[in-house]
Each structure stands twice: as structure tokens, then as C-alpha cells.
Amino acid sequence: MIILTRLIEVCGVLLGACYFYQNVYMIVALLPAKWFDKKNVPCAEPELHSFAVLIAARNEEVVLPELIKTINGQTYPAEYIKIFVIADNCTDGTAEAARQAGAVVYERQSDTKIGKGYALNSLLTYINEDYSWTDFDAYLVIDADNLLESDFIEQMNATFSEKHDIITSYRNTKNYGPGWIAACNSLWFIRDSKYLNVARKRLRTSCAVAGTGFLFSQRLLCEMGGWRFNCLTEDFEFISWAVANGYSATICEKAVLYDEQPVKFAQSWRQRKRWARGAMQVMRLQGGSLAKAIFKRRSFAAFDMLMATFPVVLFSNFIVCINIIALFFALFYRDYSVIAFIRTVGWTFLSGGLVFFSMSFFATITEWKKIRATPFIKIVTMFTFPLFMLSYTPITFAAMFSKPKWKPIAHNQCKTLDEVTERKV
């Protein structure tokens, strides 16, 4: 029992050591932005670039028209924006709703190649056939349930004019209030934008992308030869490949989108189990390349991306297995103490909960005005967030022994941008 206890403690220490650098990220994100701005660089007028907006939609007829409305209402010149929608395995009126809203629509049906990655690849293939990849300077990936601030593309263009190949945006939410699951999911992405990607940008390392609200350049698309990423977390597979091959991403924090989060725990469980399984797939596909890039390119960004998959998957599941073995010995052998087992496990979860509470506290306080919810909900979410994050342990463990398939999350929050931002119409 002593050996098992020490193993649990060692794993906790190693996990903390792997993620210690994120404490530096937090400090950097809290410091004044002017400390990290480039000095003596004249602010030139951004060049106008052409953008293809890529939307993979599956049974999204309820929410898709509002997204397209916010794209059509951009402050950026409309002639530089083209909206493309791939209606992927739809059984509703998504395709027709997109056409009526003014998008170029393609339809796709497949019983075997299921998932957003395959949909994006098909959409880009259609675009190259009917237009040309070189007709657009950059490609924006947006989810069908999103809403964009009116200056979203204008802000992304300003950052793109600084010669970045990959840019992500500030991911806010349009349903922070309906329940604690949606609020905790939302807070995670808000914290990710503020305390990870903003800090990465300031330290001149690579940001990560998270499924929606990011762009990649025409140059990068042509080098990739299409969208080649089809695992359960195609977004992280993409950024891991890019970083391993010498590319880096930045964030345009002034470009804000509003995403819809799962409301029910069962939906969140299914989604996060897919993410956990996807992390394992990315580790298998890109882990070796990232590890080589750490030493060959002396790439801290590669280390950062590797830490986003390897330790979480390895240590989380190893700790769970050790705890199960320890519980077995504690229950069936007199020489082992149930009390000692409970104390060790309790301390592990308590320390983890305190770390997650500090995350939620700082993210909520510093982003208070950006969170679209009542003060009561904001405060309650700070305390429920640790429970939400600790639930990743059984989720990750379950992902090891299952093969979760890509399944859509039903989106029913048909809100306008004015409703989400509480602007007066």
C-alpha cells in the first residue's frame, strides 16, 4: 500500500511539473499588454484580403441562418467574403436554409467517412473544382451554431496582414446561463483564450486552435494539399501537424465569436469522451513528430502541444488504474488500510480541485465583463468548475476502452447577436 501511495504521489508531482509552465502563462496574461507590444513598428493600413468562410453543418437549419446573418453583417467589405456550407449527412432543411441565406452550398452523404474533418476536406475539394484555392487569401473555419461580432473578419484581417498563416480568435459563448454544464464548458474556452493563447502570443510561441473561429492561409492549404485531418479532434491534429512542421498560430483577441455549449451532462460527457479519444489519436499520429521537433527545431511550441495530449492521457489513466489496484488491496487484504487509501485519493482530488478553482477564479474575475451571464451564475460557476474538470478523470478512463464515434450535438439556441450581447435593437 505504501508503494501504491507513493506511485500516486509521484504521478501527481510529475503531472504538476509538466504543467508548471502554465503558471508562467497565467502571470504573462495578467501583465499589461503594452509590455509585450512590438516597439517602433509603424501601424500600416491593413491590406484587404479575400476570405472563404467554411461551415460544416449537420442538421443545423435552426441556428445556421443567424450565423450567416452575422457574416453578411460584417464591417469588412462584402465583396471580399464568400460563404461556403457543406451540408453533411443532413436529414433536415440545412442546405435549403443556407441557400436562402446566401451561401454557396454543397451536400454530402457518407456512411463510412463521418466527421467534421471529412466534411471540410470534401468542401475544400468542391471549392477547388468550382473556383480555385488561389481565389482566396485565407480560409475561416466557423461552426454552424456560432455568432460573429460585426468586426470579426475586420479584426482577423488586420492580424492576417501581419503575415500569419494560422490565426485563432477569442471564443466566447451564447449560452452561459442555462445550466452549470454549459457555463463550465464556456468558462474553459474563455480561460483557454485568455490564459493560454494570449500568453502564448505574448511569448512568441504558437497558440492552439479549438475547432472553430480560426483561419489558415492559402499558402498553407496548398502545401497541405487539402484538409488531411480526420481524427475525432481534427482541429488539434491540424495544429499539432502544423507546429511539428515549423508553422505557428497566433490569436486575434479582438475577433470575438459566440459558441453554443452542451447543456446536459450526458451531452458533455459524450463530447469530452470524443475529445479524450481524439487526444489519444493525435498522440499516436503526431506525438513522434512533435517530440522530434522539440529537439530538432528546439521548439517550445512542440513541447506545449505535446503536453496538451501526452501527460493528460498517460497520467490520468495511470492514476485511475493505481487507485483501483489500491482499493482492491485495501478491501481484501488486512495489511492495507482503507483509511490510508481514502486519505491519498482525497488529497489528490482536493489538490486538483484547488488548482481548477484558481483557474475559474482568475478567468471569471478578469473576464467578468465579457461573460454574458448574471453575477450569481458567474460566481456559482467558479465553484462548480472544479467538479466539471475532475469529471475528466472517469471520462478519459472510459475513452480508453471505447471507440466513441463522431456524433453531432443538437444546437437549439436560436439567438440573435443582439440577444446574446444584450444590445438594444
pLDDT at 425: 36
CA distance 388 to 374: 20
To 5 degrees, how large is the angle CA 106–CA 109–CA 115? 95
Average pLDDT per 10 consecutive residues for the chain, totaling 425 residues = 58 61 88 78 79 96 95 97 96 94 95 91 96 97 96 97 96 89 94 94 94 96 94 93 96 95 90 87 91 93 86 58 63 59 64 83 94 93 92 81 70 79 57
pLDDT at 424: 40
Question: CB within 8 A of 96, min separation 6: which ones?
Answer: 61
SS (H, E, C) 288-350: HHHHHHHHHCCCHHHHHHHHCCHHHHHHHHHHHHHHHHHHHHHHHCCCCCHHHHHHHHHHHHH
Cβ–Cβ under 8 Å, residues 254 and 170: yes
pTM of the model: 0.88
Rg of the chain, C-alpha, whole Å: 22
Q: What is the pLDDT of residues 59-70, one digit of tens each?
A: 999 999 999 999
Find, among 257, 63, 272, 268, the residue nearest to 179 by Cα. Answer: 268
Residues 318-354 as b/e (b if ≥16 CB within 10 A, e otherwise) read: bbbebbeebbeebeeeeebeeeebeebbeebeeebbe
Cα–chain center distance at 282: 14
CA distance 326 to 320: 10
Q: What is the pLDDT of residues 255-310, one digit of tens each?
A: 999 999 999 999 999 888 888 888 888 988 999 999 999 999 899 999 999 888 76
3-class SS at 184?
A: helix
